[in-house]
Each structure stands twice: as C-alpha cells, then as structure tokens.
Amino acid sequence: MAEISDVFFVDGMRTPFGRAGEKGMYWKTRADDLAVKTIIGVMERNPAVPGDRIDDVAIAATSQTGDQGLTLGRSVAILAGLPNTVPGFAIDRMCAGAMTSVTTMAGAIGVGMYDVALAGGVEHMGHHPIGANADPNPRFVAEKMVDPGALNMGVTAERIFDRFPQLTRERSDRFGMLSQHKAQAAYEAGKIQPDLVSVAVKDAEGAWGLAVEDEGRRPETTMAGLAALRTPFRPHGRVTAGTSSPVTDGATMGLLASSHAVKELGLAPKMRLVSFAFAGVQPEIMGIGPIPSTEKALAKAGLTIGDIGLFELNEAFAVQVISLLDHFGIADDDPRVNPWGGAIAVGHPLAASGVRLMIQLAAQFRERPDVRYGLTAMCVGLGQGGSVIWENPHYNGKKRK
C-alpha cells in the first residue's frame, strides 16, 4: 500500500559550467555525455543507493534535439550504466527545467509511487542556441497574445527597468559585480568544488584536458568597468553583459528519496522539500515570475518571507533578482542572498540551473545550522516563475554567533 511521504534531497552534483561556443571548453563534448557524468558522479558518491533502486530518471533540456534529444532521461541512464530496468524521460520548462524535474519526481515520491529518483537538466547552448530550432506559432504575434520582444530575454529584462524606476542601472551593476566577487571568494574558500564532477574535454587541436571549474567567471569586475559596457538589447538601455548570465553549457543532477528509502538505505539527506509552486506572468516581463511563485510556495508552506534564512535566486539578469528583493523588502546586498555568487558569475545553462541552486543551498545548510528554511527560485522564459522551499536537516534552533 502506497503511503504519503516526505521528499528529501539526498545529494546533487554538477559539471563545471563552460562558455558556450567554439571557444568554450565543451565545444567538442556532447550534451548527453555531460549529463552522463553527473549521474555517474552522484551514484559513485552515494554507494548505499543500488542502481536498480532508481525508480525513474528525469532530465530537462530546453532544446530537445540532436545530442539533447532522444528522451534524455532514458538514453542518459543507459549511457551512465544504470540497469536497463531503470526508466527515464525528458522534460521542458525552459530555464526551470531541472527544477521541474525535481518537483515532478518529488510529486511521485510524495504520493508513494517512487522511493528513489534522479532529477536534473542539461543545456549545451553552444550546440543548441536558445530558440534556434523553435518555430513560434504566428498567432502569438498576429493575435497580439504575446509581444514579439517577449521571445528575447534581454528585452524582457529591459522592460523590468521600465516598469520599476527604482531599479536603476547602478543597482543592477553593483549586484552583478558582487556576484562575481562572491563566486570568486567561494572558490578560493573551496565551497563550490566538492560538488563538481570533472569532465574530460578535447580542445581545437585534439588535445585532451580536464574541466574542473566554471569557465566564465570574471572576478576582476569593477563598477567602472560595468558602467562602460554597451547595452545590446536597446540603445541607451540598462542591461549589459556584466549584469546578465553568460551563454553557458553544463549539466546538473539531484538524487531524491522518500522517508522509507532514507531509513532503509541509511541515507543522510541534505534537505527536506517543504513546498513548491510555479506561476505565470506576462511573457513581456518574465523576470518578475519568481515573485508570485514564491508567494504561492510560502502560502502552501504556511511561512512568511521572514522565515527564509538563505536564498538561492537564479541570476538570469541582475534586475530580475533585485525586482524580487524589492518586492519582499530585502536589501540588494543582504548576506542571505546568493552568498556564493550566482549565474552572472558561473553561468546559466538554462534547463540545468535549477538543481545548481539546490546543490549550493544544500552545501550552505550544512554550514548554517542556525537557518531552518531556504528558498530556490528562478524566472522562466515565456512568463513564468518557479520556487521551491527547503528545510535544513542540520537546524538546531540556535542563533548564529
């Protein structure tokens, strides 16, 4: 008899994120092979979980074609050496793909259908630029359902500036600079590296190397340097490369389990799922999507924003994050927010990013037993937001000294 269960994030790993394009470290690496590495990494780090106990594998990709096609969850599971008895599927919610992989598997675990599942995402934006093979229905524009600019994420970010005058370019620049500095400090302190799985890569000359860290970081970023950057999405605009996530390749994977599996296999979960929610907004200002999704997730959990002690917010654009912070009355430089930097520094391989947020939050939970709840949230193309609230199993109720 199936029983309702808690859902636990047992572990997660990811590849280092690489710059997309011919000069990026993954130009000669297949997307599905990136995802394979994450499954192998997670399973090797969790030997108490037998491969045949995986009930399902969900892998997200925004462009499900070429080396990101062929039902990724199933094909990658086979390539990673999981038993043929393990099924799998592919999923797409653009930027929130991996987040949706997790919440979909969480639903199955929560109602007692699954005990153990793998959930993640991959995006090789070098091989598959966003929207490259898409054919948007002409009715979107002809019937004025969606403004043409809604399909350009940079344009939607400029529109957030238009709507909220208090969100200035200077604030956005400062947030982008701090993301770079915080990510570099986290690297120097060894915070990020333990959850990275190394990937063998081949360069343009055919020489082999090893990808061991995120490629696109710019720790030397200054406010003066950011102020001099051009605004590619609009003349005299406010969105620049320095306040946007770079175009990125990478993969992520999370291991989820039920209460029964945690007990039976002797697992030590890193987080417990409290609630999740997705919400829709006008596609033209998709960046504000995490605001209503976070409000829904908080309501479902019976919590307020004041209960959240750590925030991992995906930095598709700096203005998108500070719009959420403003809404909830949180300072741009609040130490609870993206303490190890974010996507502006390390990259945003679309469908993979949701689990990166979870991996970083889980690592921070271990260091912060004074924090009970954390939030992972992100905006989603075509006008959506996704939010997941997690509980820290290390919480001890004591205030930080």
Give the residue extent of every domain in the chain. 7-126+246-265, 143-242+274-388
**pLDDT given at position 349:** 98
Helix residue ranges, H only, 111-249: 139-142, 153-163, 169-188, 223-227
The mean predicted confidence, pLDDT, of the chain is: 96
Q: What is the pLDDT of residue 141?
A: 80
Kindly state the DSSP code that residue 363 receives in the 8-state scheme: H
With a CB cutoff of 8 Å and minimum separation 6, the contacts of 208 are 200, 201, 202
- DSSP type of residue 18: E
Domain 7-126+246-265 has CATH 3.40.47.10: yes
pLDDT of residue 1: 78
The pLDDT assigned to 221 comes to 97
Say which residue the tokens 């086979």 belong to: 78
| CA 168/CA 47 separation, integer angstroms | 49
Q: Which stretches of the chain drop beneath a pLDDT of 70?
A: 401
In CATH terms, are 7-126+246-265 and 143-242+274-388 the same topology? yes
Q: Which residues are catalytic?
A: 95, 348, 379
Evaluate if pTM is beyond 0.75. Answer: yes
- Hey, what CATH topology would domain 143-242+274-388 get? Peroxisomal Thiolase; Chain A, domain 1 (3.40.47)
- Per-residue confidence (pLDDT) for residue 48, from 0 to 100: 98
What residues form DSSP beta bridges with 283?
none
Phi, psi (degrees; rounded to nearest 5) at 63 = -105, 95
Write down the pLDDT at residue 399: 84
Q: How many Å apart are CA 48 and CA 63, to the nearest integer?
A: 34
